[in-house]
Amino acid sequence: MKLFHKSLGDGPPLLILHGLFGSADNWQTLAKSFAQDFKVYLIDQRNHGHSPQSKEDSYALMADDLFELIAEEGLRDVKLIGHSMGGKTIMHFAQQYAFLIEKMIVADMGIKSYPPHHDDVFAGLFAVDVDRCESRQQAEERLSVHVHEPDTRQFLLKNLYWKEQRKLAWRFNLPVLFDCRSEFMKALPPTKIECDTLFLRGAKSHYILNEDMAAIRELVPHASFDTIENAGHWLHAQQPQVFLEKCLRFLKDV
């Protein structure tokens, strides 16, 4: 699948992949800072943002999509950043194409399986009922019945747009994401990852626990770990400057 992407800056290639319900646009501000040292590729994964929609979705397919983009752009020695679902995508990619990767950063995502935990979000998104919703305010009111955190609601509502006059739509493919939700929770296959990898976690997040690190090091022998204080799963949005500094220190060997 030919993914939508935008690039900025000049230098070694740095590709950034968003998480579930996200998009390349979420990374615009950080990308401008990264672009001082790298050519940054902001990528919409399949069924998200401006990329094509498909009835199928899985990490294997997302890794194939990433390979297609890298091949089409003629890139080698790439650096990768993936948050959450994007983190697992780049790990799947690294299990097959480590020779293309110089370094990668997995932002708040482990290798283990996770229990389903997006039920409220999906319930809220379906409650919006875009075919009958007449305003963004009305959409937020319906979403708020199920999604109580204002920051989470605003993040989700960034995907809502006017498809035509008085007609709202989601940029992500909500029915397919719902049908494939168990795929996104699966553990990484047991193939070792042989590239230099930083696992960057939020101190308030449960995605990478101390007891997970031994298993990660077994599967990713060149893994290192760092933690951002006062941040949860959305560490790049909650502590953007600290996130930027830690990423650059790793990517540039500072």
pLDDT in tens, 96-147: 999 999 999 999 999 999 999 999 999 999 999 998 898 999 999 999 999 9
| DSSP assignment of 34-71 | HTTTSEEEEEPPTTSTTSPP-S---HHHHHHHHHHHHH
Confidence at 254, pLDDT banded by 50, 70, 90: low
Q: What is the pLDDT of residue 229?
A: 97
Confidence at 49, pLDDT banded by 50, 70, 90: very high
User: Locate tokens 């995502």: which residue?
Assistant: 109
Q: What angle separates helix 150-157 from helix 136-144, to the nearest 10 degrees? A: 140
Q: Are 41 and 5 in contact (CB under 8 A)?
A: yes
Mean pLDDT of 222-250: 97
pLDDT in tens, 3-43: 999 999 999 999 999 999 999 999 999 999 999 999 999 99
| Alpha carbons within 13 A on the beta-carbon side of 26 | 28
Is the pLDDT at 152 greater than 60? The verdict is yes
Q: What is the pLDDT of residue 131?
A: 87
Q: What is the pLDDT of residue 71?
A: 98
User: Locate tokens 């089409």: which residue?
Assistant: 72
* 5-115+186-251 maps to CATH 3.40.50.1820: yes
**In DSSP terms, which residues pair with 164 in a beta bridge?**
167
Q: What is the pTM of this model?
A: 0.96
Q: What CA–CA distance (Å, rounded) separates 111 from 82? A: 13
Domain boundaries, the chain: 5-115+186-251, 119-179
Pick from 246, 231, 193: nearest CA to 215:
193
Confidence at 166, pLDDT banded by 50, 70, 90: confident
